[in-house]
Amino acid sequence: MLASLTAQQTLKELEMRFRGEMQQLGAASPSRQQQDELFNRHVSELRSFLTKTAKGDDRWNGRLWLAELEMVRGKRQEAVEVLKEIDAEQAPGMVLVSAATMAQHLNLVQLRDVWVKQAVTKDAPLLDRMAMARLLMTVLREIELGEGLFTKALADAKDDEEKSFVMWHRADALRDREDLPENTGFDELEKLAKSLPDTFWGSVAKDRLRATRMKVGDDAITTSGKTLDGTSFTTKAQLGKAVVLAFYTAADFDTPRLMALLADLQAKNSDLVVLGISLDRDPSEIKKSVQELDIRFPVIGDGKGPGTESALRWFVEGPVVHVLNKKGKVAGLGLQAGTNDGRAEMTAVIKRALR
């Protein structure tokens, strides 16, 4: 095991190995003792990595991860000590805001405040600034600081595309604000869709708003993308065939049964097109899961999780199946394969769509 630890030079490599070991153990129906032993070993190896190997931002991201694992183990004081090792001068703003959320949970008020104050003074990539603003406005309840990041990003936007990107993230953050009316985030999406309709994020906002009002018989939202084999797919090219959009995660308990059902229906119906849309975040694991699940229809999987374009447009945040009929209209929405009744309903909807 020491040899494999030495081979891991980055936090990402360590994460990938840990994930692989957990999946391998999970496939063997482990006992609780075996699960705990692997978990504890991972904690020990991560701590050793931070002490001996970690460089750059891995030093701080790794400590966030270690603190989280210690909290899972119920070792609150160990988590506190790990967090205190984060250097506010060297750590990036996103790390400090994330650390502040953990400090808040641990009632480390002074440390939380120092990190928040330091974080907002640091330069950061635009995507990090959007994530920081979201955490500030929601978890940390630092509304003015979060709005300040959004306001500055809008003022600094170099073009309409970047401006629409900022407006999208602000709207999404407002949706999670518990102190605001329920529709506040969607009202902001309306503003984005109307003010910048020709931008990517303006068009996504328009489709997402349509998705919230979608009903059977409506024109479907166009779904396009590159499949794992590099082929371009678009529902516009499937008119004359029924289309199943299967949003899935490999780890979901119902996924194997869903894939088997769709494969059987497709084998029996030449006019049925199935598109898998992976909501997983690791591109290599997506490809691996396609083989393990024996998925033979095209799959879109860019590793963005629910942030993949099709999921954003359809407002999908978890596994679900939508069905389009041969005219490109919605035949079924929100279908699930977790029960016999759910699978029977899905089958009936698909058969109607094929008529």
Q: CA dihedral in degrees (198, 275, 299, 296; nearest 10)?
A: -160
Q: How confident is the model at residue 23, as a pLDDT?
A: 80
Same domain, 134 and 74: yes
6 pLDDT above the threshold of 90: no
pLDDT digits (tens, 9 = 90+) for 117-151: 999 999 999 999 999 999 999 999 999 999 999 99
Same domain, 150 and 101: yes
pLDDT band, very low/low/confident/very high, at 274 (cuts 50, 70, 90): very high
3 pLDDT above the threshold of 60: no
Domain end: 163, 189, 211, which one? 211
Same domain, 149 and 276: no
DSSP H stretches of helix in 73-142: 76-84, 93-105, 109-119, 126-137
Domain end: 211, 241, 266, which one? 211
Same domain, 11 and 148: yes
pLDDT digits (tens, 9 = 90+) for 179-219: 999 999 999 999 999 999 999 999 999 999 999 999 999 99
Model confidence, pTM: 0.90
The sign of the CA dihedral 76, 78, 83, 84 is positive
7 pLDDT above the threshold of 80: no
Q: Is residue 219 part of a domain?
A: no
Q: Is residue 216 part of a domain?
A: no
Cβ partners under 8 Å of residue 103, min gap 6:
83, 109, 111, 112, 115
Tokens representing 117 are: 């104050």
Q: Is residue 217 part of a domain?
A: no
> If you average pLDDT over residues 27-38, what whole number do you get?
94
Q: Tell me the CATH number at 320.
A: 3.40.30.10
Same domain, 190 and 242: no
Largest CA distance in the chain: 65
First to last CA, the chain: 58
Q: How many domains does the chain have?
A: 2
Give the structural domain span for 81.
2-211
Q: Tell me the CATH number at 84.
A: 1.25.40
